[in-house]
Amino acid sequence: MKKPNYASMFTKRKDGTYQKYVNGKYLYSKDPEVLYQKWIDFTKNPTGKNFRFVAEKWSEEHREQISIRTWLNYKPHYEDIVDRFGSRQIDEIQASEIQSDLLKYKAQGYSATILRTRKALYSQIFDYAVVHDYIKYNPVGSIKLPKGLPKSKRTAPTDEEIRTVMANINRPFGFFPFFLLCTGMRKAEALALLTSDIDLEHDTIQISKALVYIDNANPSVKTPKTASSVRTVPILAILKPHLIAYLENINGSVLFPAKKSNRNPGGGYMTERAYDVAWANYCKETGLNITAHQLRHGTATLMFEAGVDVYTAQHILGHANINTTMAIYTELREKQKALSIEKLNSYMAKI
């Protein structure tokens, strides 16, 4: 059967979006086939009580209230969930169906973090439906995450990897990973820094913003997600001389600026692609296979080994919850205990 010419059914706007006026309401989509489905759904249910309508209303209201990075985490789940339940009446969807969906994701090997994100998205959409009297109760409230989910581990860099980072400060982009290791900053926090955030007189760095990427491309500065992320971190003695030398060789106000190219005049914030290329080239030249977040975990490890108390570590790392820092310290303490027992066994065996 020949596929209908969906585009011919609608008006195409100058921005490439298709639209359809139905019963006093405009429906939009850049994909004419998606718009056709919206039209059919709306015709069947003009009150808007199907899942797609409610999900889109939730999205319109809440997109501005969450960070761009959070939305990028939600987006693939949002699109998949709407594709699955879109034409269904919102009050017909049962808890067992959502539980089945989560079990399907577990069977595919997804981690607890992924399933927690998916469940949270379901819950927020159904909460919106309850508040607006589309349904009487949220079916997600009775659902628990499946047991035995794999946990995504964030491992710290090894001692050898840390030594490699410290030995390659002068390589292209080499100062950035060294800077992360010495400060414990998140990648987004470091990329948003201005030279005015550096106070060499008092040996401090002020963190008050983060760099995020809209549609994975264009850089945008946002305020941190939590109040604890706004903080002042110390400039360690090992970092200071390298930081001073680095500051003498950059132009402009951005601490880690974009390089000049045919398409970019340079000096502004780095695009995501520019960062990815710089990091990949650095790893290739040094033989490292690590992420920026692993270096942050490495900072936590170094602070633990140096005897820094957990509350100071929490402040430097900008953890909103002390339990997050405690979890890292507890894990490291258990590893340390295991190594000590191993040493004892080895020593006793020699005797």
Q: What is the pLDDT of residues 55-64, one digit of tens each?
A: 999 988 887 6
d(CA 88, CA 50): 5
- pLDDT higher than 60, residue 45: no
Instruction: Map residue 4 onto helix, strand or coil.
Output: coil
Q: What is the pLDDT of residues 239-268, one digit of tens each?
A: 999 999 999 998 889 999 988 776 666 778
Q: What is the pLDDT of residues 300-313, one digit of tens each?
A: 888 988 899 989 98
The residues, ordered by sequence, that sit 6+ positions from 122 with a Cβ below 8 Å of its Cβ are 81, 98, 140
Q: What is the pLDDT of residues 4-22, one digit of tens each?
A: 888 888 888 888 888 888 7
What does DSSP assign to residue 254?
B
Kindly list the structural domains of the chain, giving each domain's residue range(s) and its CATH number in brackets, ordered by start: 6-142 (1.10.150.130), 159-290 (1.10.443.10)
Tokens of 165: 């980072």
